[in-house]
Structure 1
Amino acid sequence: MNYGYENNQYTTSYGAAGGADGGGFVAGEPQSSPAQGRGGYGKDTVRPMTIKQILDAQQPHPDADFKSDGEAFSQVTFVGQIRSISTQPTNITYKIDDGTGLIEAKQWIDVNSADSESSKMDLDNSNKPKLVEDGYCRVWGRLKAFNNKRHVGAHIIRPITDYNEIHYHLLEATAVHLFFSRGPPSNLNGNAQANGHGNAHHGAGGAGLAQSATADAQLSHISPLGRRILATLKNTPQSNEGLHVQMIASHMGVSTNDVYKGAEELVAAGVIFTTVDDHTWAVLDG
């Protein structure tokens, strides 16, 4: 499935250029671990993110790089639903919502550019998918801040026609967040083997202890309500789409507002993720 990563301009920072097989995150061992702060992860490469991650990114002062999970970035890609479109002589502004936040994407118009003329035609050309209000789109661009308000200067905005791309992007953004915050998956296996000293049983036990310790640390700041919701998600029979908010509330005997509140904690902690819509969650297995 090609989700638009064939353009080599949008080479990612995760080890390979994006292609038809995915958006660029490679779950193999990199040349150096980002957690160790060494090179190989340029800030001008494209990072898949949610809008909340973009809005929560740190910038110590106006001229500093934006950082998320301790890694500098400027180029981002995200998906979302277009809430409004405002066409001005110099730019087209799209307000985009992905369920985690709302941000503006501005596409500047160069009247002398054929590419810009083509971008404007995307709104009107009946022979191709359109960028319309309430439709879904993918954005590639650079994060900017002006007057303490953030927006994305968009290089490309295109409509989404395969809705699997929305779920794929959210999973990829989660995987990249875990990659930068916890290191590559190979680290866990390597630590287990090192602790086992050649004993397969001991190594497996070491990995289990490491996973348990990581899980405990991850949930240390989660409220009792959030932990109950997580237990319900783990222990209730369900399809691969997870559980809807109404089902969780029914199983727990609480209000849907309580479920939303606890689920927000778990999503922010990277423990669960939305599936078919913003009201259905599943557990993100480690």
Structure 2
Amino acid sequence: MDYSNNYTTTSYGAQGGANGGGFMPGSQSGNDNSSTTKRGYGKDTLRPVTIKQLLDAHHPHPDAEYFLIDGSETTQVTFVGQIRNISLQTTNVTYKLDDGTGTMEVKVWIDAEAFGGEEEGEGGKGGKGKCVEQGYARVWGRLKAFNNKSHVGANIIRPIQDYNEVQYHLLEATAVHLHFSRGPPEQLDQAGKGQSNDATATNGGAGQQQSAAGGQLMPAGTSMAARKVYQAIRSTPQSNEGLHVQQIATAAGLEMAEVLRGGDELMNLGLIFTTVDEHTWALLEINGAGYAPGDDG
């Protein structure tokens, strides 16, 4: 995948305008603010994200009309999550989604909902059905903020039929995050080789600290809890689903609170990811023998 000009497509179930940087159905709705329209749809990008990234997004300056994620301008986003609540309002339907990294309100204006309902149908051709509470859904839309509270104005929200899409999305969002926060994979390869040589020459000096297993270079300042959690996940036999935090705590000899803090630190570094639930983790191998997002096309 090429993210050099921002992220413009997602390849899993990307329907209804998710292929490219133009507008999607509903994006010209009068409910979108005029400042977004002024920017022009030719500048739009579509990026897979987690809810935590949306919660951490910020304006580059007070008058900015867009948000920054990983220092990159972001307009349209897509994410998946479990629907915790559906609230019917006079002008919109508000969904509360949880993806294991946080919760976010998603608002679908009534006219856009009618458009989506017409396209999705109610069990007719395609048989996609409707979004329901406790079910999983994919959202396409724009991040907005009102009274210092963020929400997503959705162009499309549809139920997920294939639950592999949930894990695919998290892996894809991780790959894009690593690209913008650390650079393209080829640069990481070169930097990793240089850091490995430096670490060998200085016998594990101040620049980088090397974990005992697998030769994974950990950034300077990484906490001891995070390194013990990483070591426990790497060295403990496990299935493709990874390890639950209770197993990690036992293997690492840590209290549960320390494991959770260490896990959050490793997730922020892009070294682990959640699998079957938010408390089951696996290593994300980028340069090693493990699976890396995008490996299968």
Secondary structure of the equivalent of 2:142? strand
Partner residue in 2 for 1:69: 70
Amino acid at match of 1:233: I
**Per-residue deviation at 1:232?**
0.9
Q: Which amino acid aligns with 1:108?
A: W
Task: Provide the residue aligned with 1:143 in structure 2.
Answer: 143
Name the CA distance, whole Å, in 1 between partners of 2:85 and 2:236. 39
The residue that corresponds to 2:12 in the other structure is 3
1:256 is matched with 256
Give the partner amino acid of 2:282.
A
Which position in structure 2 is the counterpart of 1:229?
229
Give the CA deviation at 1:266: 1.1
Summarize deviations over 1:217-263 as a string: whole Å, max 9, x none.
85323321111111111122222221111211121233333322221
**8 Å contact from structure 2 (residues 234, 283) kept in 1:** yes
Paired with 1:86 and 1:162, the residues of 2 have a C-alpha distance of 25
TM-score (norm 2): 0.72
What is the CA-CA distance between 1:8 and the residue it aligns to?
A: 4.4
Q: What is the match of residue 56 of structure 1?
A: 56
Task: Report the Cα distance in structure 2 between the residues aligned to 1:267 and 1:219, rounded to whole angstroms.
Answer: 13
Q: Deviations over 1:50-71 (max 9, x none)?
A: 0000110121325342001111
Structure 2: give runs of 5+ residues left out of the alignment.
Answer: 1-10, 23-41, 201-206, 211-216, 287-297
Structure 2 residue identity aligned to 1:134: Q
Residue pairs, 1:267-282, within 5 angstroms:
267-282=267-282
Equivalent runs, 1:42-121 vs 2, <5 Å: 44-59=44-59, 60-110=61-111, 115=115, 118=118
Deviation string 1:123-158 (CA, Å, 9 cap, x unpaired) is: x76954331111110000011111111110000000
- Answer whether contact 1:137 1:160 (CA < 8 A) is retained: yes
Question: Percent of pairs identical after alignment?
Answer: 53
Q: Name the SS of the counterpart of 1:110 in structure 2.
A: helix
Q: Residue 130 of structure 2: SS of its match in structure 1?
A: coil
For the Cα contact (< 8 Å) 1:77–1:138, is it kept in 2? yes
Residue number in structure 2 paired with 1:238: 238
CA–CA distance in structure 1, aligned partners of residues 258 and 234 of structure 2: 18
Is 1:12–1:47's contact at 8 Å kept on the other side of the alignment? no
1:214: how far off?
Answer: 7.1
* Aligned residue in 1 for 2:29: none
Q: Which residue identity lines up with residue 68 of structure 1 in the other structure?
A: I
Q: Are the equivalent residues in 2 in contact too, given 1:218–1:269 (CA < 8 A)?
A: no
Deviation of 1:205 after TM superposition, in Å, equals: 5.6
Contact 2:137–2:160, Cα closer than 8 Å, also in 1: yes
Query: What's the counterpart of residue 158 of structure 1?
Result: 158
3-state DSSP class of the match of 1:82?
strand
Q: Aligned-pair distance for 1:75?
A: 0.5
Alpha-carbon distance in 1 for matches of 2:63, 2:83 = 28
Partners of 1:129 and 1:161 within 8 A in 2: no
How many Å separate the matches in 1 of 2:257 and 2:140? Answer: 34
2:81 and 2:99 in contact (8 A); partners too: yes
Over 3 Å counting, the alpha-carbon distance change for 1:251 and 1:71 in structure 2 is: same
In 1, the alpha carbon distance for the partners of 2:45 and 2:231 equals: 38
- The whole-number CA distance in structure 2 between the counterparts of 1:103 and 1:269 is 22
- State the 1:118 CA deviation: 2.6
1:285–1:117 Cα change, 3 Å = closer
The alignment partner of 2:134 has SS state of coil
For residue 182 of structure 1, report the CA deviation from its aligned partner: 1.7
Looking at structure 2, the residues matched to 43 and 151 of structure 1 have their Cα atoms a distance apart, in angstroms, of 21
Note if contact 2:266-2:272 (Cα within 8 Å) is conserved in structure 1: yes
Please provide the CA RMSD for this pair: 3.0
Q: Which runs of 5+ in 1 are unaligned?
A: 14-41, 193-203
2:233 partner amino acid: L
Match of 1:281, SS state, is strand
Q: Is the 8 A contact 2:116 2:156 kept in 1?
A: no
The equivalent residue for 1:132 is 132
Amino acid at match of 1:260: L
Q: Are the counterparts in 2 of residues 141 and 152 from structure 1 also a CA contact under 8 Å? A: yes
- Please state how far the C-alpha of 1:188 moved relative to its aligned partner: 4.0
The SS at the match of 2:172 is: helix
- Count of residues paired in the alignment: 242
